[in-house]
Structure 1
Amino acid sequence: MSLNDTMHLLRAWLRDPRSVGALAPSGPALARLMTAHVDHAHGPVIELGPGTGVFTRALLERGLPGHRLVLVETDPVLASTLAQRYRHARVLRMDAARLGRSSSLFGDERASAVISGLPLLSIPADKVAAIIEGVFERQLQQGGALYQFTYGLRCPVPRALRQRLGLEAERIGGAWLNLPPAWVWRIRRP
């Protein structure tokens, strides 16, 4: 993590505190855990709230071709930085809550995985519902999974929402070396 990336996040937080979940980029242990189960051979990948691109870098290092990756970022400065840094990926400056109003981001193909760095616990419940519904109803292929990290012990996708959409959540590990420590959840339809 660079000082420049930390400054980008701090400025984004100052512009909109509810849209940024941490004041420093996620660490390499969390990035490895978030991307370890993503098999890009089954389809493209969407990243929600990529921030400075820590998970993006991990996905590309795992062999995901850049043109098979869409980054959804609301902050204009972070989106611009991502577009310069990851030229082969498609960067969309949009609110992830609009995913349900969009057709698949990959044309006729749907994503095999969605990696989310969104701070779901600080986002209003109706917006969380719109994000999760959009992911599972419009963007994610059958059998695909949403990978979400949180600093809390519980799944950040509310149980009532999971039940309504027929989703199951499984905690797949913790990144103790991350500051603060974080847990990763895999959410999918059985």
Structure 2
Amino acid sequence: MSDLLPFFRAWVTDPKKVSAISPSSPALARLITSEVTANQTPVLELGPGTGVFTRALLDRGVRPDDLTLIEAGPQFSKLLADRYPGVRIVEMDASRLGNAQLFQPGSLSNAISGLPLLSMSPRKIIGILRGTFGYLREDGAFYQFTYGPRCPVPSAILSRLDLRATRIGTTVRNMPPSSVYKIERQNRATDRKPA
């Protein structure tokens, strides 16, 4: 319940930017963070909102100082700073990551994204992925959830950026039900079939 009021305030202010009908559930948070361990750090989280994925990452053993949150909304940024002391919070548009020089190239292990990619332009999606993969290690992964029936990153963009997406699971214990995709560089992908 404590997430509903800040979520509703942000939704009323800019529903297109929030692009969700309710905060993400703990079940979705467990699924999207299921492949991240305390040994796979530092971690970047994009669009943390009320911080349900942040809490799941900390519960998986990721230390606060190994976690950076990129949040464009000032209301959510303040809420996150109050809830998660010691976690680095950067208030900015995630599509500008590539120019921000927040990390050394290849220094991050994983990225967890709560961004509403389905409501974004191809140019913005490319900016987010290019910027993030510029910071990820060669074997790093980008985890993205979606309410839709397929990966929210169009196949043309995956191909252009030499990336591959694999669905790692679906949860019906979210409103609406959601799937999680793992996006990796083509040359680091496993033998699983693309989504």
TM-score range, shorter chain: over 0.9
Residues in 1 aligned to 2:7 and 2:93: alpha-carbon distance in whole angstroms: 17
Please state if 1:119 is matched with 2:154: no
1:1-190 superposed matches below 5 A: 2=1, 4-103=2-101, 105-107=102-104, 110-136=107-133, 138-189=134-185, 190=188
User: Where do 5+ consecutive residues of structure 2 fail to align?
Assistant: 189-195
Q: CA deviation at 1:134?
A: 0.8
User: Where do 5+ consecutive residues of structure 1 fail to align?
Assistant: none
Residue 166 and residue 109 in structure 1: after superposition, are their counterparts in 2 closer, same or farther (change >3 A)?
closer
- Identity in percent: 51
Residues in 2 aligned to 1:29 and 1:134: alpha-carbon distance in whole angstroms: 28
Residues in 1 aligned to 2:71 and 2:119: alpha-carbon distance in whole angstroms: 16
Q: Which amino acid aligns with 1:115?
A: I
| 1:40-74 CA distance string (max 9 Å, x none) | 31320000000000000000001000000001000
Residues in 1 aligned to 2:76 and 2:111: alpha-carbon distance in whole angstroms: 19
Moved over 2 A (4+): 105-109
TM-score between the two structures when normalised by the length of structure 1: 0.93
| 1:132-161 CA distance string (max 9 Å, x none) | 11111x221110000000000110011111
**C-alpha contact (below 8 Å) 1:6/1:23 kept by paired residues:** no
Residue 108 and residue 129 in structure 1: after superposition, are their counterparts in 2 closer, same or farther (change >3 A)?
closer
Q: CA deviation at 1:18?
A: 1.7
Residues in 1 aligned to 2:62 and 2:150: alpha-carbon distance in whole angstroms: 30
Q: CA deviation at 1:39?
A: 2.6
Residues in 2 aligned to 1:116 and 1:63: alpha-carbon distance in whole angstroms: 18
TM-score between the two structures when normalised by the length of structure 2: 0.91
Residues in 1 aligned to 2:41 and 2:54: alpha-carbon distance in whole angstroms: 16
